[in-house]
Structure 1
Amino acid sequence: MISLQFLVTAFVVVIAPGTGVIYTLAIGLGQGRGPALMAAMGCTLGIVPHLLAATLGLAALLHTSALLFQIVKFAGVAYLLYLAWQALKSDGALSVSANRNRDSGWRIARRGALINILNPKLSIFFLALLPPFLSGNPATATAEMVGMGAIFMVMTFAVFVAYGVFAAAARDWLLTSDRIMRWLNRGFAAIFAALGARLAFERA
């Protein structure tokens, strides 16, 4: 059963800035509204494997398997460091530049999805988040988990779109200053590097 408590909890979780939000903001600032929407979609789709893992109990396997957790974790660390490098490069995927070409929607969405897919903590997070809100009826537990997961994804997409639209609206003003663009690129690079470092020290 979907409760007000679940909706409030899910909204607080979704609205808090994380890796997906930073990615969506970077795309919105660097490439505009349309690409930002694709970034939001990709980040949202990247949640699906973790929700399925939590629903099917696979998250518990990830939690108990140190080797599997480490493999996924360090793949995620490497990817975040790659995105940090892409923010620093003048023609990188996340660079904020006045004259850069737009990437294809597929590439933007794929990068967003990978950000979440390669974060093993998400599966464990959903395994902890969803069960406390179940009705307690084993016959409907799976359907309830799927329903809550779907609502969480809708919230994620809506909030990320709002972040992306805001970034795209600020794009024209920010692109008038080369100094601001340089600091934005350095800032995004530093954030992704810091997120990668934090993920590296995460434990199952």
Structure 2
Amino acid sequence: MVDLPTLITYSLIVLGFVFIPGPATLLTIARATTSGPKVGIATGAGIAAGDIVHTLFAVFGLSAIIAASALLFSVIKYVGAAYLIYLGIKAITSKVAPSFGNGIADVSTGTAFRQAFISEILNPKTALFFLAFLPQFVQPENGYVLLQLTILGFIFVALGLFSTIVFALGAGTLGGLVRRNPVILKWQGKAVGTIFCILGVRLALQER
């Protein structure tokens, strides 16, 4: 088991890390601003679900396989980048339905969750991050290494979800005010789409 001092140190480091703006934060804020806090929280939950999978990858060695195979890393990376760019283009070209004149974009919580989950799963950098980060806090002398990795991974996921909920609530509240502006309503889809495309290009250009 993870001892208490290590657990506290790890949690404080992760808590500081998850509040640094990154791709997950940008996706959550973009969704929350244009579609409301519930959709933003669903996006954060999708990212958290993807991180649970990456935790299991790290625990059972699949992340090591991705790290060792340049071809597999590239395939996952480019598929993930293509998916993000596809979502971006779709958002840019979509029109706001008349029924959403209050500024809430036609994106359901289920759709937001699914898109965020797939995007996170198809990010090999996240797999490598879990593979490199979690073992630093594992103490083999305490036994049950796989259990330690699992606990550390789930703590990361929980704190990450907490941060995205905070960002979603803040962005959703602010977005509720700005969405009443017809000019912003007209351009919000293009803004979200641009963010998705930028993240897709960023992922495609990343190296191992």
For the superposition of Structure 1 and Structure 2, which TM-score range results when normalised by the shorter chain? 0.7 to 0.9
Task: Output the CA distance in 1 between the equivalents of 2:152 and 2:67.
Answer: 22
Unaligned residue ranges in structure 1 (runs of 5+)? none
State whether residues 34 and 189 of structure 2, in contact with CA within 8 Å, keep that contact through their aligned partners in structure 1.
no
Query: Does residue 114 of the first structure (1) align with residue 118 of the second (2)?
Result: yes
The match for 1:88 among 86, 92, 103 is 92
Letter in 2 for 1:66: A
2:10 maps to which residue?
6
The match for 1:177 among 177, 181, 191 is 181
Query: Does residue 134 of the first structure (1) align with residue 138 of the second (2)?
Result: yes
1:38 maps to which residue?
42
1:144 maps to which residue?
148
Letter in 2 for 1:35: V
2:195 maps to which residue?
191
Note the C-alpha offset of 1:86. 3.0
Return the structure number with greater helix share.
2
State whether residues 19 and 192 of structure 1, in contact with CA within 8 Å, keep that contact through their aligned partners in structure 2.
no
Q: Which moved more, 1:175-184 or 1:102-111?
A: 175-184
Note the C-alpha offset of 1:102. 4.3
- TM-score, scaled relative to structure 1: 0.88
Closer, same or farther in 2 for the Cα pair 1:98/1:86, shift >3 Å?
farther
1:69 maps to which residue?
73
Task: Output the CA distance in 2 between the equivalents of 1:158 and 1:35.
Answer: 15
Note the C-alpha offset of 1:159. 0.7
Letter in 2 for 1:56: F
- Provide the alpha-carbon RMSD of the alignment: 2.2
- TM-score, scaled relative to structure 2: 0.86
1:54 maps to which residue?
58
Give the fraction of aligned pairs with identical amino acids, expressed as a percent: 27
1:19 maps to which residue?
23
Query: Does residue 156 of the first structure (1) align with residue 160 of the second (2)?
Result: yes
Unaligned residue ranges in structure 2 (runs of 5+)? none
Give the total of aligned pairs. Answer: 201
Task: Output the CA distance in 2 between the equivalents of 1:139 and 1:116.
Answer: 30
Note the C-alpha offset of 1:82. 1.4
List 4+ stretches of structure 1 deviating above 6 A.
Answer: none
Note the C-alpha offset of 1:194. 2.2
